[in-house]
Amino acid sequence: MTSDPASVALPDIARVRSELAATAAMPRADAVQVCRSLRTRELAAIGAWQNAHLADASGTAIVEAITAVSDEIVRTLVARAFAKLGAPDDWSEQVGIFALGGYGRREMNPSSDLDLLVMATGSKAPDWLTKAYPDLQALLWDVKFTVGASQRPAAELARIIDEDFVTATAVIEQRPIVAGSRPVAEMQDLLARLRRRQSLAFLRYKLEELAKRRAQAGVSLFQMEPNLKSNPGCLRDVQLLRTMAFIVFGSRDLSALTGLEVITARDLEEVTVANDHLLRLRSLLHFHHQRKQDVFQLADQVRMARSLGWADVSSLRAVEHFMKAHYAQVLHVHQMVDLSISRLRALGHLGHKLILIKSRKVLSPDFTAVQGQVYLSHKDFWSLPDAGSRLIRMCRLAQSRDVRISLELQRAIKANLALITDEVRHDPSLGRVFLEILADAGRIHPILEDMHNCGLLGAYMPEFGNLTCHMQFDSYHQYTVDQHTLLAMSYIDAVAAGRMPGLPGMATIFPAVKRKDLLALGLLLHDMGKYMGRGHVARGAIMVSEVADRLGLTEEEEDFVYFLVERHVSLSDASRMRNVHEPSFLREFATKLQST
């Protein structure tokens, strides 16, 4: 390994190659032992280098270093297996050895699988390959790779990827390790054929796969113990963006996605930074646990935050600052995936272009709904003196028409959040509009989610904005504070719509609640003190007064919201200590809690 901490972490490939070349004359068992020991030694050296230079060791440098060592060992074992069973001198023109998947992307973490394709040209594998391939597999396993290998003629592979899009995904990420011009050309031809024949079906399959992954991950991408590989916004999503780029534009380079017209080079640079961050964390996890470990557990988060130089600042712990930055990067990747899908659909890559005029509905002089999504009607909007006020009113209008804010409009809003001034925040007429949004039980969550995703909710309600991507480092919560709160808002919608069968009597009780807007406001604000650290209930209750003043609440209304925020942990505390179905407890609790 290099000793210069400012340089890229790469093994000494010349030395590795020299040591491996010496195995050609060794008996099989000795050669395997040398390869295995060399791999173990180099992985340990890469891990030690990463730990010694955490401040400047990029995740990409680490995985590329591991990939480079793996390449040299694979080439050595291929040469040994093929020579033993009579491969001709020009065998690389008959057979190509290709890395697939993460190995193909040069993104091998310490415990990653080694995915390999041995592809014969034409329609039939030569006899010598049929004999040599099992020996190659045995050698790879003996060296302690976790191998996912297959051997196919090019013609058979072309048929398979036409039907099996899991295999097609891996092949799209191929990289030749040992291959002459003919196998490389045939590989390029079959991938070009896939793009010509199956692009629509393939993209639809990938979106179905994405939907399943998101369903398995749960309702939020901000889980407290995320899976760095499969959770929304994590490594699988970056890989999906590259796959989209290849299918639509013929290049696996993320920069190709600028062809979707809305996504910028800066957006994609941030995706690359997020990918590097995730690869870095995943390598650290694998090295620390000495096995494949993709779930980022709380104990690992604490340890890694300290190791990476994060510190306690103000009333927040190092791990809370670290994870807030992590979630922000993951959120960006997630939003780029959604925006890419939106553009693919709009440009006809997911089927025929929709005749948008048929679904076009004018919401106001400034905004139009198309296919259930709100778009800006004219480019002069952002220069209007009351544009900030119009945005808040648009949200209420969108909610009342059951339409969502388009991703394109969300991006534009995010770029113009300075329009939400103190004057806008203190406008009592807008306060009433915001309360109307909160009063519309049954459809509160969708509009608040859109407002939050583009930063509008946090700009209008800074107390909530402070909670963005803020983790709750305890055993009671699964999500970040903002997502926990939005999830709670969705429960109001579910109760209003009768979708909470586990709450007997609620169908009668909830309609009788006269001020659903104040109930929802109390829920929206109940954890707003958490960004200041411990003692969040008292801190949050104190902050109610300022919010109430801006929204134009009466003293009685303010007292009710204060009551909700100040007492919100009482029932949860009681539920952990008492049987909430016991009548005597309920009478005692109701007397203690009283009302307002």
Bridge partners of residue 151, in order along the sequence: 118
Query: If you write DSSP's letter for every residue of 265-325 in order, what string do you get?
Result: HHHHHHHHHHHHHHHHHHHHHHHHHTS---B--HHHHHHHHHHTT---BTTB-HHHHHHHH
d(CA 110, CA 281): 11
Same structural domain for residues 274 and 255?
Answer: yes
pLDDT, tens digit, for every residue of 414-432? 999 999 999 999 999 999 9
The CATH number of whichever domain residue 297 belongs to comes to 1.20.120.330
Same structural domain for residues 416 and 547?
Answer: yes
pLDDT in the model for residue 214: 87
Q: Name the pLDDT band for 473 (thresholds 50, 70, 90).
A: low
Task: State which of 325, 346, 367 marks the end of a domain.
Answer: 346
> Is residue 213 situated within a structural domain?
no
pLDDT of 576 strictly over 70: no
> Is residue 77 situated within a structural domain?
yes
Same structural domain for residues 200 and 66?
Answer: yes
Same structural domain for residues 472 and 382?
Answer: yes
Same structural domain for residues 477 and 396?
Answer: yes
> Is residue 423 situated within a structural domain?
yes
Same structural domain for residues 509 and 388?
Answer: yes
> Is residue 495 situated within a structural domain?
yes
- Characterize the bridge pairing of strands 147-153 and 114-120: parallel
Say how many C-beta atoms besides its own lie within 10 A of residue 142's C-beta: 16
Instruction: Tell me the two tokens of residue 83.
Output: 């020579």
Same structural domain for residues 193 and 285?
Answer: no
Same structural domain for residues 385 and 468?
Answer: yes
Instruction: Tell me the two tokens of residue 363.
Output: 């919401």
Domain count, the chain: 3
pLDDT, tens digit, for every residue of 240-262? 999 999 999 999 999 999 999 88
The CATH number of whichever domain residue 121 belongs to comes to 3.30.460.10
Same structural domain for residues 415 and 544?
Answer: yes
Same structural domain for residues 190 and 298?
Answer: no
Task: State which of 346, 367, 386 marks the end of a domain.
Answer: 346
> Is residue 20 situated within a structural domain?
yes
Same structural domain for residues 554 and 476?
Answer: yes
Beta carbons of 333 and 237 less than 8 angstroms apart: yes
> Is residue 6 situated within a structural domain?
no
Same structural domain for residues 306 and 273?
Answer: yes
Mean of pLDDT values over 283-292: 96
Q: Name the pLDDT band for 564 (thresholds 50, 70, 90).
A: confident
Instruction: Tell me the two tokens of residue 492.
Output: 């109001």
pLDDT in the model for residue 4: 45
Q: How many residues are present in the chain?
A: 596
Beta carbons of 517 and 557 less than 8 angstroms apart: no
Say how many C-beta atoms besides its own lie within 10 A of residue 372's C-beta: 13
pLDDT, tens digit, for every residue of 426-453? 999 999 999 999 999 999 999 999 999 9
Task: State which of 319, 346, 373 marks the end of a domain.
Answer: 346
SS3 of residue 368 by DSSP: strand
Q: Name the pLDDT band for 7 (thresholds 50, 70, 90).
A: very low
Boundaries of domain holding 131: 13-204
Q: Name the pLDDT band for 132 (thresholds 50, 70, 90).
A: very high
> Is residue 3 situated within a structural domain?
no
> Is residue 2 situated within a structural domain?
no
